[in-house]
Amino acid sequence: MPTGVALRDPRQQLFDAARRVLLRDGASELTSRAVTAEAGVSKGVLHRHFADFDAFLTELVLDRIAQVEAHAADLVDRAGSGTVTDNLTTALVNGFDPVVVAIVVLVIARDELRTRLRAAGTARFPLVGETTAVVAGYLRAERDLGRIAPDADVDVLAPTLIGAAHLRFTENGPEAPESVRKVVTTVLAGVLR
């Protein structure tokens, strides 16, 4: 005899619940019990779909990395249109939404999670590394179009932008967009054409 209601997409339901817990309570409060309670399911549901909680967290981060990589093509497609500053500001604001900032904290805090993510082939600093690669790809495209100086070192500019933007979001939260625009303007001041 069935004991519950069939879940339409239990993995997504658990990911969504984890994001809500991260936003509301922070990385230190993200536990399997908190996630399943937020999702309104038993702990067994999580363990039916994931080997353990670290496997769940790994998939949560990989899911967000896949979203970042899906947006990479959109950013590169904007090369040559709008302004470089507007394109990068928008990309960084969207790329460092509150969930991403919370996930970065989670990755920093959990050794086992970092180990599993590296084994899955992520950047050395998961999520931040992938976002840096996206920004570098966009800067290369703009350099190829002549909107950025031909000698601009995009492999230095990209992590500089990412690090400074991440700090702005950590310090300023939702008020960060104008702060991020200032960072982009300052970092690219010497290379924009």
In a domain, 56, yes or no: no
The per-residue pLDDT for range 41-83, each reduced to its tens digit, is: 999 999 999 999 999 999 999 999 998 888 888 899 999 999 9
Residues 106 and 135 in one domain: yes
| Conformation bin of residue 152: beta by default, left when phi > 0, alpha when psi is -120 to 50 | beta
User: Do 183 and 134 sit in the same domain of this protein?
Assistant: yes
Domain total for the chain?
A: 2
CATH of residue 37's domain is 1.10.10.60
Round the average pLDDT of the chain to a whole number and report it: 90
pLDDT at 7: 55
User: Do 93 and 165 reside in the same domain of the chain?
Assistant: yes
HEC sequence for 78-141: CCCCCCHHHHHHHHHHHHCCHHHHHHHHHHHHCHHHHHHHHHCCCCCCCCHHHHHHHHHHHHHH
Q: Which residues of 43-60 are buried (b: 16+ CB within 10 A; e: fewer)?
A: eebbeeebeebbbbbbbb
Question: Could you tell me which residue, 128 or 11, shows the higher pLDDT?
Answer: 11
User: In this predicted model, what pLDDT tens digit does every residue of 137-164 receive, in sequence order?
Assistant: 999 999 999 999 999 999 999 999 999 9
> Which tokens in the block code for residue 28?
């230190």
Same domain, 75 and 153: yes
Find the domain containing 82 and state its range. 61-188
d(CA 186, CA 96): 19
Determine the Cα–Cα distance for residues 57 and 61; give it in Å rounded to an integer: 6
Give Cβ neighbours of residue 77 (< 8 Å, ≥ 6 apart): none
pLDDT confidence of residue 78: 94
